[in-house]
Amino acid sequence: MGSVYAPVRVSDQSFAFRSVRDEAEIAFEALRTILPPKKFFYPAKETILECDGDEVKEHIEVVEPFAVFGVHPCDLAGLNALDKIFLSTPQDSHYQRRRRAAFIIGLSCLPDKHCFCKAMKADAPGKGYDLFLTDLEDKYFVQVNNQEAFEFILSCKEFMHLASDQDNQGYKKFWNDRDSMFEHNFDSAQLPNLMDLGWDHPLWQELGERCLSCGNCTPVCPTCYCFDMTDVAMFNSEKVEAERQRVWDSCQFSGFAAVAGGENFRPGPVDRLKFWYRHKLHGFEDPIEIPSCVGCGRCTVSCPSGIDDLPGVIRILAGRPQLNLEGEIA
Ligand code: SF4
Ligand code: SF4
């Protein structure tokens, strides 16, 4: 096994997935990391093509096996959504190589006030992990998802025992108790309808006027995957070397929808914010049929303007404005 990545504390209030060598480095209490684990599979910048003189060829990175520990259910759901994007035909070989090299160890968590994964049906360990650990306080209940994970378990069986009836009861109690802790509960099946009906709601103008177009909300989102391509050339006396790089982009940036001729399909922050919300709450319905928000709450905590409160926006669109965005929107 190569590198192991896990959440570590990087400030009083924030955590990040980092390479760890010792269990003591791991922040087992971490709820949401600054960036989701998508960064391991779809990095912020990567070389796609390389040009060596006259030859242009695909850049093929050798990816060593690695493990990611501490992936919570919403982030597993985010990876499953990205799988649908990048592993649908034609598959993205760069993403696929990293996905194949990874061993994912999921970990249970308890929600805070920003979590709404339950409403988005992304609150349970469904798939996308190799092992999933549920914290039963004095032990972990381990779910094994495939043969590779089973062989790993066999290699450390001195730390394991078969789940007893009491363990099974403890597992069910944990998930039932956790279920009752969520503050936000709405019917996510209604979101596409709410977004269609609310397309001209004055809320978008109010929120858009407060948006700084900083783009914070997109890199932190487990399902945002928009990118730009840049060509980087290096000249020397003998030949031209160059790379085509894929870099994360954001639909909140003013130039994102700019096209040749000086036109811009979404020139102002109101248009861009509304577009982003639509993508998150209407989802990738056609043709992928999955929601594109997994309710992790990262955009809420990272927005400097305090306008990415998705549950608050949903309540307003649903016609329950008494429960508005912390009283800031009339
Ligand atoms: S839209 Fe916000 S809450 Fe939903 S998955 Fe993205 S970052 Fe998380
Ligand atoms: S993080 Fe907030 S202010 Fe920044 S682009 Fe997103 S919505 Fe706008």
pLDDT at 289: 67
pLDDT at 328: 43
Question: Does the pLDDT of residue 89 top 90, yes or no?
Answer: no
pLDDT at 284: 67
Give residue-wise pLDDT tens across range 232-254. Answer: 988 776 777 899 999 999 999 99
pLDDT at 257: 94
Q: Which atom of ligand 1 is nearest to the CA of 297?
A: 3
C-alpha 324 to ligand 1 mean position (Å): 18
Segment 36-52 mean pLDDT:
95
pLDDT bin (cut points 50, 70, 90) of residue 283 is confident
C-alpha 212 to ligand 2 mean position (Å): 6
Q: Which atom of ligand 1 is nearest to the CA of 296?
A: 8
Residue nearest to atom 1 of ligand 1 (CA): 293
Is ligand 2 within 6 A of the CB of residue 270?
no
pLDDT bin (cut points 50, 70, 90) of residue 273 is very high
| d(C-alpha 36, C-alpha 81), whole Å | 13
CA angle 63, 66, 67 (to 5 degrees): 155
Question: Does the pLDDT of residue 25 top 90, yes or no?
Answer: yes
pLDDT at 287: 56
Mutate to test the pocket of ligand 1, among 32, 123, 298 (most ligand atoms within 8 A of CB): 298
pLDDT bin (cut points 50, 70, 90) of residue 324 is very low
Question: Does the pLDDT of residue 326 top 90, yes or no?
Answer: no
Is ligand 1 within 6 A of the CB of residue 310?
yes
Question: Does the pLDDT of residue 141 top 70, yes or no?
Answer: yes
Residue nearest to atom 8 of ligand 2 (CA): 211
HEC states along 208-256? HHHCCCCCCCCCCCCCCCCEEEEEEEEECCCCEEEEEEEEECCCCCCCC
Give residue-wise pLDDT tens across range 97-130. Answer: 999 999 999 999 999 999 999 999 999 998 899 9
Among candidate residues 231, 212, 222, 204, the one with its CA nearest the CA of residue 291:
222
pLDDT at 1: 62
Mutate to test the pocket of ligand 2, among 214, 266, 270, 281 (most ligand atoms within 8 A of CB): 214
C-alpha 94 to ligand 1 mean position (Å): 24
C-alpha 158 to ligand 1 mean position (Å): 39
Question: Does the pLDDT of residue 133 top 50, yes or no?
Answer: yes
**Token output for 242:** 């160059």
| Mean pLDDT of the chain, nearest integer | 92
Question: What predicted TM-score, i.e. pTM, was given to this entire model?
Answer: 0.93
Give residue-wise pLDDT tens across range 192-203. Answer: 899 999 999 999
